[in-house]
Structure 1
Amino acid sequence: MVRTRVYRNGVLAAEDFPLAEVSDHLADPSTAVWVDFCEPDESDLVDIGDELGLHALAVEDATHEHQRPKVDRYESHAFLTAYSAILAENGDLTKSEMAVFITDRALVTVRKDDNFDIDAVVDRWNMSSDLAKSGVAFLLHGLLDYIVDTHFEVVQSLDDQIEALEELVFDEKARDSDVQRRSFRLRKSLVEVRRVVLPMREVLNSIMRRDLHIVDYPMQPYFQDVYDHVLRASEWTESLRDLVVTIRETQLNIQGNRLNMVMKKVTSWAAIIAVPTAITGFYGQNVPYPGFGHSSGFWVSTAAIVFVSGLLYVMFKKRDWL
């Protein structure tokens, strides 16, 4: 599936035209063309590659998945790879890879799967059509702005889920296995988020370089705004990483404290039970002892059991061992 658009002098002139008409539109120096492919193979990009002079290595990267976020510079164009991201309620992360060819007057986007919401990018272009005079820089800004916003939303959602996990850690009724499972899932998602968010700083830095001549002067503040969002998302991601580690350490400390409390209680009750065991065991000896053969001996032993056991109970209770 291929989607197309052409802007002429900053105005949307046509869209969803056949791929064969791209060269006709590019013949006009006042136009900027956008072409979008979804899940293409290398043969699907041959025509547009020949038309725009795309490098064979860049075309190969565009058709293969799991590229790292980057910007490669070639003689006639730049090649960019980035990821949008969506976080599910259970903490699982879904990434969508996007490859982008950037030329002087054409932007070619290659979606590796159908999960990338290209309609949201088109809506951004429609809402900021007053910037369309900047051509490819305008199209690229809308695309990167959407991608970075998905990163920001994922990081914010992770923050909310980690905050809920904090409350669960201190819940007396929470099962440790549930906390561990959620903690592991969030930590795994956070690692994946870092892999797509942190490299975007270098991506934006490269795109904004003056020697590439991609961003014109009117679009510089808008790209700087996207770069600020990237920095905030990156810093937020780093702080969440430390927070997840702290939560795990806190959970282990709480488990250790609970185990110590249980051991103290078990030891205290064992000490209390040892008193009547010792006394009755002593009186069970087959040798004479004070009160032997008299009822007073029974009452003395009973009183000793009650008194010593009660004394130990009060002492342990005072020290919060029971």
Structure 2
Amino acid sequence: MLINCAVYQHGSKLHDISVEAISDYVARPDCFVWVALRDASPEELALMQEEFHLPSLAVEDAHHGHQRPKLEEYGETLFAVMHLLEPSPEGYELGEVNVFVGRNYILTVRNRNQQAFLGVRARCEQEPQLLQLGAGFVFYALMDAVVDRYFPLIDSLETDLEAVEERIFAKGAQPRDNIEQLYGLKRRVMTLKHAVAPLMEVAGKLHGGRVPPICISSQDYFRDVHDHLIRINSALDTLRDTITTAIQVNLSLVTIEEGEVNKRLAAWAGIFATATAFAGIWGMNFRHMPELDWPWGYPLALGLIAGTCGILYRRFRKAGWL
């Protein structure tokens, strides 16, 4: 579906144009065309390929989707893929934005995502002196908008992790629930990691060293995006390590609790084993046993059993087993 199709000249918007007029303005060196599509059909992509003379392999990737973040060069055309993430009950809904960048055009194809980029267009139009840099600056603005949307996800992950950490040490905590939530957090961290790490490599190729000609005038801005991605990647590594530690702590607490239960069971088993031993000795069916003729033999036996069990109970209690 076509979202927007406009032509710009010297940093200012001239007007919206029809798709059929794209090739006419692309042929003009003093203009550049900015087109935005969402969930484009094969027919729309084929029309854009004809108007912009897009490389077939890149169009095929944009059509099939499910690509990892990447940057590819096809002559004077750049093709970039970035991931868009939206929170969902199961984790994240994964979408993509495919960007075609040429000398005087930029085409974005957004798939499986409802997050619009109208704010990016408005931001660029409010800065005509920067928009004069052409499609390379618009490419930066789009990448910067995608990266900025990762920061709230990081904040949400940190908040959820702190809540789980508090529940780990709470009285009556449910270890299984904590483990499930921690593994859910870990899956979300890894999903975000898979979006950030390759994109960090992409941003690194757009500043310093051999920079594509389209992005030379904007490479300082791409350096800023790269710095943001480094911060996000470091935060994700910290979150992943913290989650791993929390899982280990939770399992250790479960082991400690099981050890406490085993000690209590062992203590009571020892007490009842002593009582059983005495009862077994006096319960043997021998004819000549001295206690059988004593008037106080039975109460004495019960008292000895109770006394011994009481001593053992106090010893176990003092040792912290009961």
Structure-2-length-normalised TM-score: 0.90
Cα deviation per residue 1:213-234 (whole Å; 9 max; x = unaligned)?
23344x4433222111100111
Q: Is the 8 A contact 1:58 1:79 kept in 2?
A: yes
CA contact (8 A) 1:152 1:229 kept: no
Q: Corresponding residue for 1:244?
A: 243
Matched, 1:292 2:318: no
State the Cα deviation string for residues 129-150 of structure 1 (Å, max 9, x = none): 5522222122112210111122
Q: Distance in 1 between matches of 2:175 and 2:85?
A: 29
Matches within 5 A, 1:20-35: 20-35=20-35
* Contact 1:91-1:186 at 8 Å conserved across structures: no
**Could you tell me how far apart the structure 1 residues matched to 2:120 and 2:313 are?**
71
Q: Does 1:258 align with 2:262?
A: no
Assess, with a 3 A threshold, how the Cα gap between structure 1 residues 129 and 95 changes in structure 2: closer, same or farther: farther
How far apart are 1:127 and its partner, in Å? 5.7
For 1:119 and 1:293, the matched residues in 2 are separated by 103
Q: Bigger shift: 270-279 or 93-102? A: 270-279
Task: Give the conservation status (yes or no) of the 8 Å contact 2:91–2:184.
Answer: yes
Contact kept, 8 Å, 1:86 with 1:150, in 2: the verdict is no
Q: Note if contact 1:63-1:112 (Cα within 8 Å) is conserved in structure 2.
A: no
Task: Tell me if the contact between 2:62 and 2:109 (Cα under 8 Å) persists in the aligned partners.
Answer: yes
Contact 2:207 2:220 in 1 (8 A): no
The answer as to 2:274 corresponding to 1:270 is: no
The structural deviation recorded for 1:49 is: 1.9
Deviations 1:157-192 (A, max 9, x none): 222222222223333423233223222322222222
Partner of 2:12: 11
C-alpha distance in structure 2 between counterparts of 1:307 and 1:128, whole Å? 91
Cα 1:298–1:275, aligned 2, differ >3 Å: closer, same or farther?
Answer: same
- 1:134 is paired with a residue of what secondary structure? coil
Q: What is the SS of the residue equivalent to 1:109?
A: strand
Distance in 2, matches of 1:164 and 1:124, equals 37
Amino acid at match of 2:135: V
Structure 2: segments with no counterpart, 5+ residues: none
Cα deviation for residue 27 of structure 1 reads: 4.3
Q: Which moved more, 1:260-269 or 1:151-160?
A: 151-160
**Cα distance in structure 2, aligned partners of 1:177 and 1:235:** 29
Deviation at 1:56, TM superposition (A): 1.0
The equivalent of 1:37 in structure 2 is 37
* 1:129-278 correspondence to structure 2 within 5 Å: 130-208=129-207, 210-217=210-217, 219-278=218-277
Give yes or no for contact 1:7–1:33 (8 Å, CA) kept in 2.
yes
What CA RMSD, in Å, does the superposition of the two structures yield over aligned residues? 2.2
SS at match of 1:171: coil
Letter of the aligned partner of 2:188 in structure 1? S
Q: Distance in 2 between matches of 1:46 and 1:162?
A: 46
Give the C-alpha shift of residue 75 in structure 1.
1.0
**Could you say if the C-alpha distance between residues 126 and 268 of structure 1 is closer, same or farther in structure 2, counting changes exceeding 3 Å?**
farther
Residue 76 (structure 1) aligned with residue 76 (structure 2): yes
Deviation, 1:68, is 1.3
Any stretches of 5+ residues in structure 1 without a counterpart? none
Calculate the TM-score normalised by the size of structure 1: 0.90
Identity of aligned residues (%): 29
Mapped to 2, the partners of 1:125 and 1:173 lie a distance apart of: 54
Note the alpha carbon deviations across 1:192-219, whole angstroms, 9 max, x for none.
Answer: 22211100111102233554123344x4
Residues 40-59 of structure 1 mapped to structure 2, 5 A cutoff: 40-59=40-59
* Distance in 2 of aligned mates of 1:158 and 1:136: 34
Q: Is the 8 A contact 1:54 1:76 kept in 2?
A: no
Q: Which residue of 1 aligns with 2:301?
A: 301
Distance in 2 between residues matched to 1:102 and 1:292, nearest whole Å = 105
**Residue correspondences, number:** 319
- SS of corresponding position for 1:198: helix
Aligned to 1:125: 124
Counterparts of 2:279 and 2:228, CA distance in 1: 76
Superposed displacement of residue 94, structure 1: 1.3
Alpha-carbon separation, structure 1, partners of 2:301 and 2:56: 97
- The SS at the match of 1:207 is coil
CA distance in 2, matches of 1:290, 1:30: 120
Distance 1:62 1:172 in 2: 52
Q: Go from structure 1 to structure 2 and tell me whether the alpha carbon gap of 1:234 and 1:268 turns closer, same or farther (over 3 Å shift).
A: same
Read off the aligned partner of 1:313 and give its amino acid letter: Y
Q: Is the 8 A contact 1:96 1:116 kept in 2?
A: no
Q: Matched residues in 1 for 2:236 and 2:184: separation?
A: 15
More deviation in 290-299 or 219-228?
Answer: 290-299
Give per-residue Cα distances to partners, 1:7-66, cap 9 Å, x unaligned. Answer: 221123324x32123234334433232101111233312333233221111111111111
In structure 2, distance between residues paired with 1:123 and 1:172: 52
